[in-house]
Amino acid sequence: MVKTRNKLLLVDGYNVLRSGSRYQHIQGPDYTDDAFNRARETLINDVINYAGRDYRAIIVFDGAHNVFSEGNPETIGGVEIIFSPAGSSADKVIEKLAHDAKMRSVETLVVTSDATIQDTVFGGGVDRMSANGFSWEIENYYGEAEAEEVPRVAAKNTVADRLSSEMLSRLEALRDQS
């Protein structure tokens, strides 16, 4: 039986890309489409890894100025990706999702450096994390994962290591008599 996740991770996508130290070097100063797409893909992969089996995760990107954005979610690696519908900001979508989750007693963490969203959701009893805090958590996560993958050399335990020096001397003497 699959365990239902009762924790929600909401990520303010573009805010984290602009404010999170981990993503700024990927985009560079020019914000070309390719660089921005790489940064967005990195964020999505990071959220997939961070959420794991603990969180249901949603990344909300601002689609307010895109007349074609309908706000329909797409799922990638178990993470919902939502571009806010035309005319509605990502902030409003995040605030609504956080409020709805809180009403259902879902433990919720919102990742954003937007002070207005932080104040709004924190006032509603929802936890928050800054974009740089998330960047740090991700770097720490990958560092721990890498440390776990480094092969450790097992100590070589021999019988001689476990014998007293007196017994070892006796055995060596017996061996040398032959």
Tokens of 83: 């571009």
Per the structure block, which two tokens stand in for 152? 């450790």
DSSP result, the chain:
-PPPP-EEEEEEHHHHHHH-HHHHHHHTTT--HHHHHHHHHHHHHHHHHHHTTT-EEEEEE--TT-TT-----EEETTEEEEEPPTT--HHHHHHHHHHHHHHTT-EEEEE---HHHHHHHHHTT-EEE-HHHHHHHHHHHHHHHHHHHSPPPPP---HHHHS-HHHHHHHHHHHHH-
The per-residue pLDDT for range 1-32, each reduced to its tens digit, is: 455 568 999 999 999 998 898 988 776 656 56
Give all domains of the chain, ordered by start, each with its CATH number. Answer: 7-177 (3.40.50)
pTM of the model: 0.75
pLDDT-derived band at 155 (thresholds 50, 70, 90) equals low
Average pLDDT score over residue span 110-119: 85
- Percent of the chain whose predicted confidence (pLDDT) is above 70: 88
* Res. 70 pLDDT band, cuts 50 70 90: confident
Query: Is 126 within 8 Å of 106 (Cβ atoms)?
Result: no
